[in-house]
Structure 1
Amino acid sequence: MGTWGSGPFENDAAGDLLSAIRAGEFDITDFTGHVDEEYVEVEDSQAAIAVAEILAVAHGLLPAPPQLEGIDAVAYTESLTPEQREWILATLERTIGDPETSELYELWAENGPEDVEEWRAPILTRLESLKTLS
C-alpha cells in the first residue's frame, strides 16, 4: 500500500522525486514531454505538484518544509528552463481542472467533494502564486 495524502509530498511519487533530486538523478525532461497531452497521469501530476512546491520555496512564497531538507530550492529552480517552468504550471492547471483531464483529480473525486477541495485548494493557491512570477 502506498502513501496517500492531500499534501504535496504525501505520496510515494513525490518521495521518490525528492530522493532523486537529492541524489542529482531527477531529470524533469522525463516528464515535460507530456505537456501537450490532454490527460495527465498520476505520476506526472504528483511530480508537477512537488516541483511547484520547490519553486514556491525558492521564491519565498512559503518556508521550506522538512521534506525539502538537503535540497537547494533556489539552485534547483535556477536549473529549470522557461519551458520546464511552463510545463509545471500547465500540468498543475490540468491536474486540478477536472476528472476528464487528470487521473489524480479523478481518484480524489472518488472520495467525495470535500476531499477534492481539501486536496485541490492549496494547489490552486500555489498555481496562482507561481503565475504572478512568470
Structure 2
Amino acid sequence: MGAWGSGPFENDGAGDLIASIGHGDFTFDSVLGAFEDDYLECDGGQIAVALLELTLIVRADRARDPAVAELDLDDFAAMLTGERLAWLVDVVERTVASTDSELFELWDEQGPEELASWRVPVIDGLEDLRVLSV
C-alpha cells in the first residue's frame, strides 16, 4: 500500500521526486513521461502538486514543509525557467481538473470535504504560481 495524504509531500509520487532531487539526479525531462497522455494518472498529479510546492518554496519564499526541510533546492531552483513555470501551470491545472485527472477522481471519491482539503490549497498555490510565471 502506498502513501496517501492531502499534503503536497504525503504520497509516493512526491516521495520519489524528493528522493530524485536529494540524490541530485532530478531533471524535468525525467518526469515528462508522467504527463504525456491526455488522461493524467495519479503519479503525474502527485508529482505536479509536489513540483508546485517546491517551486513556491524557492520562488515565493513559502515556508518549507518538514518533508523537504533539509533538501538542497539550489539545482532545482536553477531549472525553473519561464518555460518550465508555464509548463507547470498547465500540468497543475490538469491535476485539479474534474476531467482527465485520476488524482482528482480519487479525492472526489472520498467526499466533498476530503476533496476540498486537497484541492483548495493546490488551487491557491496555482494562483501564486500564475503570478510568478507572468
Q: Establish whether TM, by shorter chain, passes 0.5.
A: yes
Q: Which moved more, 1:71-80 or 1:11-20?
A: 71-80
CA separation in 1, counterparts of 2:129 and 2:68?
Answer: 18
Runs of 4+ in 1 over 6 A off after TM superposition: none
- Structure 1 gap segments, 5+ residues each: none
- Residues 1-134 of structure 1: pairs in structure 2 closer than 5 A: 1-32=1-32, 37-98=37-98, 100-134=99-133
CA RMSD of aligned residues (A): 1.8
Which digits, 9 at most, give the CA deviation of each residue in 1:29-53, with x for residues without a partner? Answer: 1333565643211111111111111
Offset of residue 87 of structure 1: 2.0
SS at match of 1:132: helix
Q: CA 1:82 to 1:105, structure 2 compared with 1: closer, same or farther past 3 Å?
A: same
SS at match of 2:80: coil
Q: CA 1:129 to 1:92, structure 2 compared with 1: closer, same or farther past 3 Å?
A: same
SS at match of 2:31: helix
Offset of residue 13 of structure 1: 1.4
AA at the equivalent of 1:89: V
Which digits, 9 at most, give the CA deviation of each residue in 1:47-98, with x for residues without a partner? Answer: 1111111110112341112211332334412223433322211111011110
SS at match of 2:57: helix
Whether contact under 8 Å (2:96, 2:104) holds in the other structure is: yes
CA separation in 1, counterparts of 2:128 and 2:61?
Answer: 8
CA separation in 2, counterparts of 1:73 and 1:55?
Answer: 9
- Structure 2 gap segments, 5+ residues each: none
Query: Normalising by structure 1, what TM-score?
Result: 0.88
Query: Normalising by structure 2, what TM-score?
Result: 0.88
CA separation in 2, counterparts of 1:109 and 1:23?
Answer: 34
SS at match of 2:110: coil
